[in-house]
Amino acid sequence: MDFRDSPAEAEFRVRLRAWLVDNNPGLPASSTDDAYWARQAEWHSALYDAGFFGLSWPTRYGGHDLPTVFDVILDDELAAAGAPPRPSLGYLVQGMSTHGSDAIKDRFLPGLISGRDRWCQGFSEPDAGSDLASLRTTAIHEGDEYVIDGHKVWTSYSDVADWCFLLARTEPDVPKHKGLSAFAVAMDQPGIEQHPLRMINGITSEFGQVAFDGARVPAENMIGEPGEGWRVAMTIVSHEREPGELGYVARYSKTVKELEQAVRADPDAFRSDQREGIAWAYVQAEMLRLHVCRRLSERLDGVDHGPGGSVDKLLMTWVEQAVGTAALDVSGSRAAVDTDDVALKVYLYSRAQSVMGGTSQIQKNIIATRILGLPTG
Amino acid sequence: MDTRDTAEQAELRRSARRLARELGPATVAGLDDTTRAKRLAAAVHDAGWLELRNDAGDGRPLASGVESTIVVDALAGRAADVAFSGPVLAADLARRAGAPEAVGSVVAFTRGLVEAAEVDGDVTSSPLYAVDCGGEQLGPVFALQPDGDGYRLARVRDGGPIDGAVGGADLTRRVCTIAPGAAVLPVARQDRLLTRDDLAAWIALGLALTSADLVGAMRGVLDLTVAYAAERRQFGVPVGSFQAVQHLLADAVCLMEGSLSVALHAAWAVDDLDPEEARAAGRVAKAYCGRAARTVCETAIQVHGGIGNTWECMAHVYLRRALLSSQWFGDAGEQLRHLERERLGAADGLS
């Protein structure tokens, strides 16, 4: 058991730290400001071009084939520098790597990883949230193509996406989990329209809704086999729940650091409950950082696509919400009088963490039945 | 970076868990089985685990903080009624003081069990508490005697049968009260003064051991409770099939997993980080594990329902163990107070 950097890791850390001195874009947090999203692609490319992104992914697809724990260092240093977190798309890489054919992987992974191609994930629908398998978007086989009709929502980054990792019903007459398939759908075509979703904290750039009206996708763009869509989706969501895949630790640590600086600048201006709230948020953020160290170390034995991500997701949610609450409590009256108060936005955004990527209640169902082996009711 | 157990650590974890499973109390009634408890104590002794923090001959311990926490996690996981952390902490302090003969005894704490007792003069003036002091015989109990910029080890009891009050919340480990007026005696052959750094590193070990104990208790009580929820039937079905119950247990699993992650880091930090950093890592772990263990043990009692509130159910044995481990070296509130002061600066008047 060793939490210390190996020589290679230490060298990487020094190199990254030096690079960040001149290349921190100084963007506001993704959770609170559309200005982040306007320059997210630029940040992704910069990080990738400098050799600091896609660390554990195969070199064949533009990654670096490094041990998974290098991502811990990336998150550490991004947080320490106050830089934005790494782009969160590891779950799509996992889904495509696990289920895609060599042709699919060769064609799509390099652009996904480098940021040259922007991707969104078309899973949730207005009537298919927690019950994802009941989704109604159809993909009907016509010649060499599939024709897509339906409506997706909570589609992250749909406004800038070149491609959509779409889950659609290809076989309406089989049980709901068995009739789904996954596709890489080009977003720039007449049959697709997307609209932004405005979150309760006011941001409009992260999530969108997408209408498919006779959109077309070549059959060769199917990811996995016909009917494999549910398994593809489960691989993706299991990783979408992992802080180690998402890199959110950097965002939490950065916020805690800012709260600590605010209090240190004027210690007497804060009540003991506000101070304790920050100390607790620090403990929570540290817990998640160390939990990610442990999970990514366990991955040195090989990646597991199992239900453990649900545990990590709940831990991450508790951290985000502890940090959000501490920010709001420290902000105090400012949040009440200023619509643009950042702490207010951090807090309001944190409420979504127990819903996005699968609600906390769904995670608990998964833990109870698949990890604890309790009987279903 | 690789936080996985080494092959040796994994083997130690397996054998400690096996021993705790075979010789732990298993039931509340089993706590009264003195033959079994003696076999357990002998097995822990014979395994050499009490010596993990003894001097290897060069001033360094025989094993790192990680090995000690692996053992305590396993013992707590079966509510094993055997002294371990107490003697190991005494051995660690004695090693740091260059006083090898102190091995096998325990350290006295002041009321609150947060700090090692400081004694000045020939006799003690307040009650002291020997935590995790073991069986009927009590070896020498150590306290800290200020000396210039540092401390010397002193004895506040010279061994022999326990005569003070023994007990406390925990039914698996004993706290012995040493009444005021105990003679303060020198410890022979003590090569070094204990420095502030020595004490910070020793507190780091205390925080790591108590955090790991809490993790073990959480795992043990959850195993017990999940098995019960799958078996206990009401309304014609197992109570564990109800979401209301499932969600309580799912929360508890997450708290245990998060606690394990912070506790592993605190254990590693004992010997691999600077003393103050190691102590800070211990404080993070203890703050998280302390809060988590309380919730997890309370959940266990709730899920057991009526039987969970009776003496015969093992759940309260784990809760009681967690209460002592939580208090020893300071509970979550105590750790947060320290972290606040260290990270946010002093707040005069308001904090």
pLDDT, position B158? 66
Check whether A14 has a pLDDT greater than 90.
Answer: yes
Determine, yes or no, domain membership for B225.
yes
pLDDT, position B123? 93
Longest Cα pair distance anywhere in chain A, in angstroms?
Answer: 72
Q: What is the ipTM of this complex?
A: 0.96
CB-CB under 8 Å, A374 with B229 = yes
The C-alpha of A298 sits at a distance from chain B's nearest C-alpha, in angstroms, of 7
Q: 3-class DSSP state for residue B42?
A: helix
Residue in chain A nearest B236 by alpha carbon: A377
Q: What is the pLDDT along chain B (351 residues), one digit of tens a residue?
A: 999 999 999 999 999 999 999 999 999 999 999 999 999 999 999 999 999 999 999 999 999 999 999 999 999 999 999 999 999 999 999 999 998 766 558 999 999 999 999 999 899 999 999 999 887 777 789 999 999 999 999 999 766 676 667 778 999 999 999 999 999 998 888 889 999 999 999 999 999 999 999 999 999 999 999 999 999 999 999 999 999 999 999 999 999 999 999 999 999 999 999 999 999 999 999 999 999 999 999 999 999 999 999 999 999 999 999 999 999 999 999 999 999 999 998 765 443
Nearest neighbour of B343 by CB, restricted to A279, A298, A315? A279
pLDDT, position A244? 82
Determine, yes or no, domain membership for B17.
no
Residues of B whose CB is below 8 A from A363: 250
Range from A2-11, A366-375, B30-39, B187-196 carrying the lowest mean pLDDT: B187-196
Neighbours of B164 (CB within 10 A): 17
pLDDT band at A302 (very low <50, low <70, confident <90, very high): confident
> Cα(B153)–Cα(B198) distance, rounded to whole angstroms?
12
Q: What is the CATH class of A118-226?
A: mainly beta
Residues of B whose CB is below 8 A from A72: 1
> Cα(A363)–Cα(A301) distance, rounded to whole angstroms?
24
> Cα(B290)–Cα(B54) distance, rounded to whole angstroms?
28
Determine, yes or no, domain membership for B296.
yes
CA contacts within 13 A on the Cβ side of A249: 27
Residue B188 vs residue A159, higher pLDDT: A159
Q: Which amino acid is at B214?
A: L
Q: Does A311 lie at the interface with B, CB-CB under 8 angstroms? A: yes
Cβ neighbors of B54 (< 8 A, separation 6 or more) are: B61, B62, B91, B95, B100, B103
Nearest neighbour of A69 by CB, restricted to B1, B249, B345? B1
For chain A, the domains span 7-96, 118-226, 235-371
pLDDT, position A377? 73
CB-CB under 8 Å, B226 with A374 = yes
Quote the tokens at residue A292: 């990610």
Enzyme catalytic residues of A: 240
Q: Which amino acid is at B181?
A: G
Surface of A (275-294) touching B: CB under 8 A:
275-276, 278-280, 282-284, 286-288, 290-291, 293-294
Q: What is the CATH number of the domain that holds B323?
A: 1.20.140.10
pLDDT, position B350? 42
Quote the tokens at residue B288: 């998280």
Domain containing B221 equals 196-344
Surface of A (56-75) touching B: CB under 8 A:
69, 72-73
Element housing A182 (H / E): strand A180-186
> Cα(B61)–Cα(A371) distance, rounded to whole angstroms?
38
Closest CA to B98 of B177, B142, B49, B152: B152
pLDDT, position B351? 39
pLDDT, position B282? 98
Assign domain A235-371 to its CATH architecture: Up-down Bundle (1.20)
pLDDT, position B349? 44
pLDDT band at A304 (very low <50, low <70, confident <90, very high): confident
Q: What is the CATH class of A7-96?
A: mainly alpha
Determine, yes or no, domain membership for B174.
no
Q: Transcribe B256-284 into DSSP letters.
A: HHHHHHHHHHHHHHHHHS-HHHHHHHHHH
Q: 3-class DSSP state for residue B232?
A: coil
Q: State percent of chain A over pLDDT 70.
A: 100
Q: 3-class DSSP state for residue B129?
A: strand
Residues of A whose CB is below 8 A from B265: 3, 290, 293
> What is the tally of structural domains in chain B?
1
pLDDT, position B188? 83
Residue for token pair 């977190």? A85
Average pLDDT of the segment spanning A325-344:
91
Query: What backbone torsions phi and psi does residue A162 show, to the nearest 5 degrees?
Result: -85, -30
What is the DSSP secondary structure assignment for residue B135, as one 8-state letter?
A: S
Alpha helices in B97-242 (DSSP H): 196-231
